[in-house]
Chains A and B, each alone.
Chain A
Amino acid sequence: MIRGFLAVLAVLLIIGSLMLGTPFVGVNRLFAGGIEHIVVVELRAPRLLLGLLAGGALGVAGLMLQESLRNPLAVPELLGVSGGAAAAVTVCVVFGLTVPGAPLLPAVAGAAVGAGLTLLAVRGAVGPEATLLIGAAVSAALQAVLLAASALADSRDQGVLVRYLLGSLTGTDWADVLVVGIALAVVTPLAVLCLPSLKVLRLGDEAAASAGLNAGRARVVVLTVSCLLIAVVVGFCGPIAWIGFLAPQLARALGTASAFWSMVFGALLVVAADLAARTVLYPIELPVGGLTAVIGVAVGILVLSRRRRRVPA
């Protein structure tokens, strides 16, 4: 039932993404020739594909973070990972630095630095809330670096700023899709390899130890792989805020906390949000990350308020 519904929704979203916009392209003309064909194939199709890839990757990465840290709010935005990657890429872009492998390598390096800073800062803190607050503080500082860099460079390119603050799919071409596709093709097998240990980590460190797993090491591996996934996405689309939180939440709400469903929901959410971002205030295009941030955080607050009330005082 749910699967059928999701399949229909997915098809609708995909066709809608290809059709809507200027010019409007009717279903019957999607594969016809002419200028409309060019718009669909050269502009909308790569954008759609990148959205699917990015959403899927963020969904999986979010799930990995949350399960391995056993904290439903362990999201890239609150751990300095997105912030670090975005700040690094922004610095490269606004200063026009030519870095080999840009934006991929700077994003990976930035994510590593951000995550490292958070880990360093978190040492000695007790409990999930403190960890999140510290991560949020690190993220805020990294965001300040991002904004400062763009102010320093006196960047007139606000598109770059918006993209790396919240995420956006504007101006995607096939080259982007190709690079992201290849990068994800490399990282995804690693993620799949992590899944068994993730299942054990979820049960707690003691259970992991009795299952013969070194919890600390396994966690580092899982975190590294999820940072890679996030960095790839952030390098090209920005953080697409809170997808890494929303997708696993939805998957869990439907009773399946599996990586597969988290990936599916991530992909669908990004495409749906991007469609909304392009159309609700047409012809103005909103940053897709703004929408996902507003929706994602509203869900987060609900989750937190519910979680607490269940615990008797």
Chain B
Amino acid sequence: MKWLIPMVVVTAVLAFVQLLTGSSMSPVTALAALFGGDGTERQIIVELRAPRVLVGLGAGACLGVAGTILQSTLRNPLASPEVTGVGSGAILGAVVATTIGSESPIEMVVLALLGGMLGGGVLWLVASLRGSDPLGLAVIGVLLSAMLAGATLILLTARPQLAGAMTQWLVGSLNGRTWEHWSALWPFLVIGLAGAFLVTVVLGVLAVDDDHAKAVGVSVTPWRIVVLMLAVLTTSVAAATTGALVFVGMLAPHAARALVGSDQRVALPLSALIGAATVAAADIVAQNASLPAGAVTAVAGAVVMIHVAKRTSAATVGGMR
């Protein structure tokens, strides 16, 4: 509990700063505009800034949830939407949606969902064929992601009029997010967050060992499908509404676990909050440097991933001796 409340405050502050960024408004004016009034300030805050902030927070929370689920269920500290093929599959789906000319974010979410299931399904297949040591599976996941990203790029170039959105899809960005994106995002966010929270106990059990899970009474395969579907759902909706915010889903669960340990009932909401805060912070930096937000998270996340890969490799090899 002790970290949840401070993290809510941190996230709220970051979100407020993000709201102010680029609007050249004093905090007071912005607050006033947020809660009423009219005129250009209200217009800017409510129509332009607020959806951007909300979509970013929502997508970050989704990725935090997805990362927590993937890492505990696959028992792999390196698992995240990026290294499981789920994220790139979802992006591919969303790009397919734009390629066939769908405009509504909802259709994009649905196709992203299908793409995410494709990516996750292939990884599942490979894992069941060859067994799953964490590092080996992560390498396959990276390859799978590279393949799906290649397919995405082919699609983007096949329709040159879409190529302008290339950066958006490949690293993720919050530019031009509208209330429509938010309304496509929030129902899935609620389902994902609530669903994942309700099954946190199962996540904790699955994180130990299949035999252990069966012994205490968890039917492993059905539950694993359920929780992985929640991960695919949250990843896909984030991908469809913001593009690939690279490495947020890897970073947030690690930070959460480092702070509160492995009690998923606390770690999961905390990871969602940290995901949201990370995206808000990245977007603040990104807007000040006119970068895409995903580029910022990619660089920050790469550092964390390197650290974790080293620790995991040391632990695995050490364990085998």
- Are A and B direct contacts in the complex by CB distance below 8 Å? yes
B 158-177 binary contact with A (CB < 8 Å = 1; else 0): 10100110110011010000
In the complex, what distance in Å separates the CA atom of A242 from the CA atom of B153?
Answer: 15
How does the 8 Å CB contact mask read for A282-313 relative to B, with 1 for contact and 0 for none?
00111101111110011011001100110001
Do residues B167 and A147 form an inter-chain contact, with CB atoms below 8 A?
yes
Whether a CB of chain A sits under 8 angstroms from the CB of B147 is yes
Q: How far is the CA of A144 from the CA of B299 in the complex (A)?
A: 7
Q: By the criterion CB–CB under 8 Å, are B157 and A297 in contact?
A: no
Digitize A202-226: 1 where CB-to-B-CB distance is under 8 Å, 0 elsewhere: 0000000000000000000000000
Size range of the chain A interface in the assembly? 35 or more
B2 at the interface (CB under 8 A from A): no
CB <8 Å contact, B153 and A166: yes
Which of the residues B167, B306, B313 comes within 8 Å of A127, measured between beta carbons?
Answer: B313
- When the two chains form their complex, are residues A134 and B150 in contact, meaning their CB atoms are under 8 A apart? no
Structural contact, A305 and B295, CB atoms closer than 8 A: no
CB contacts (< 8 Å) of A156 on chain B: these are: 164
* A-B contacts, 26 listed (Cβ < 8 Å): A73-B143, A125-B313, A126-B318, A129-B138, A130-B309, A132-B142, A136-B139, A138-B302, A138-B306, A144-B298, A145-B299, A147-B294, A148-B291, A148-B295, A150-B167, A151-B173, A161-B163, A162-B166, A286-B157, A287-B157, A293-B147, A293-B149, A294-B150, A301-B140, A304-B136, A305-B130
Knowing that A73-B143, A126-B316 touch, tell me 19 more A-B residue pairs with CB under 8 angstroms.
A124-B314, A126-B318, A130-B310, A132-B142, A133-B135, A137-B302, A138-B306, A140-B247, A144-B295, A147-B170, A148-B292, A150-B167, A152-B289, A158-B160, A161-B163, A285-B157, A290-B151, A297-B147, A308-B136
Interface residues of B (CB under 8 A from A): 78, 82-83, 126, 129-131, 135-136, 138-140, 142-144, 146-147, 149-151, 153-154, 157-158, 160, 163-164, 166-167, 170-171, 173, 246-247, 289-292, 294-295, 298-299, 301-302, 305-306, 309-310, 312-314, 316-318
- Residue ranges of A at the interface with B (Cβ–Cβ < 8 Å): 73, 77-78, 121, 124-127, 129-130, 132-134, 136-138, 140-141, 143-145, 147-148, 150-152, 156, 158, 161-162, 165-166, 241-242, 281, 284-287, 289-294, 297-298, 300-301, 304-305, 308-309, 313
